[in-house]
Structure 1
Amino acid sequence: MTLILICLLIATVMPILAKAPLAVAQNKQQGGYDNRHPRAQQNALVGFGARAKAAHENCFEALIMFTPGVLTVIALQLVGPIAQYLCIAFILARIAYLFCYWFDVHLVRSICWGIGFCCSIGLIVLALF
């Protein structure tokens, strides 16, 4: 179960870690990081900054899909190898997804998103059978 909880922890802090490239992009804008109106500044970003914002926001969306599966597997005591592999694959896919988004590798990014999504659904399906 420890490995699954570590994956949940990583997925939980991933949106915060993914904020770093976004903050760098905001800081590079004229006037630097606008801490009074960061959301408005983020909405004005283009290129890398816009992709960093989208990657950051998508981390929250992925977390919302991943968490129910993890909690279901834990609650039903199905923390075997399949659940662990699904959790590890989710984390690896999400890390690859971030890099693909930041560096505009859009087709691979979509594949990584699909893998992460399937892992999240896979955890719930594992609990059903």
Structure 2
Amino acid sequence: MGPTRFTVAYWCVLAAALLPYLCAYLAKSGGLFKPRSQGGFDNHDPRAWLARQTDWHARANAAQANSFEALPLFIGAVIIAHQLGAPQTRLDILAVLFVTLRIIYIAMYVAGLPTVRSAVWAAALLVNIGILLSALR
């Protein structure tokens, strides 16, 4: 067995894993530098504080949850595709496309564009399935 290398697709797994934390920052950003007494972020009860958020902060929190939900299939698909010997270039392109679509998805979620967001979500799901099946010949 030759040397192992960290592929573009593996870097995309890291990027996808960091996206929920970006969403969490966005969701909390309105209250990070305010005192709790003035509605600032409450680290003693962060989930209740986040549940009280409205507008784009609430949507960013929902995007965080969805980003975590999307991770297992993506991680599994990348690992399975690697194990089955999928063409590396195809796998890398699909992985970059998935991460790009997830970034667009988050932007559409925060912007309050549900129809576009859902279309982008569906496209990312299809790309994920493509990754999983990319080793088929």
Same fold judged by TM-score > 0.5? yes
TM score, norm. by length of structure 2: 0.85
Report runs of 4+ in structure 1 exceeding 3 Å deviation: 25-30
Choose between structure 1 and 2: higher helix proportion: 1
Q: Is the 8 A contact 1:15 1:59 kept in 2?
A: yes
- The answer to whether 1:59 aligns with 2:67 is yes
TM score, norm. by length of structure 1: 0.90
- For residue 19 of structure 1, what is the aligned residue in structure 2? 24
Aligned CA-pair RMSD: 1.7
SS of residue in 1 equivalent to 2:40: coil
Task: State the aligned residue count.
Answer: 129
- The answer to whether 1:78 aligns with 2:83 is no
Mean Cα deviation higher: 11-20 or 32-41? 11-20
Q: Note the residue ranges of structure 1 that are not aligned, 5 or more in a row.
A: none
Identity between Structure 1 and Structure 2 (%): 33
- For residue 126 of structure 1, what is the aligned residue in structure 2? 134
CA distance in 1, matches of 2:23, 2:54: 17
Q: Is the 8 A contact 1:26 1:49 kept in 2?
A: no
Structure 2 residue identity aligned to 1:66: F
Q: Is the 8 A contact 1:89 1:119 kept in 2?
A: yes
- The answer to whether 1:69 aligns with 2:74 is no
- For residue 45 of structure 1, what is the aligned residue in structure 2? 53
Larger radius of gyration: 2
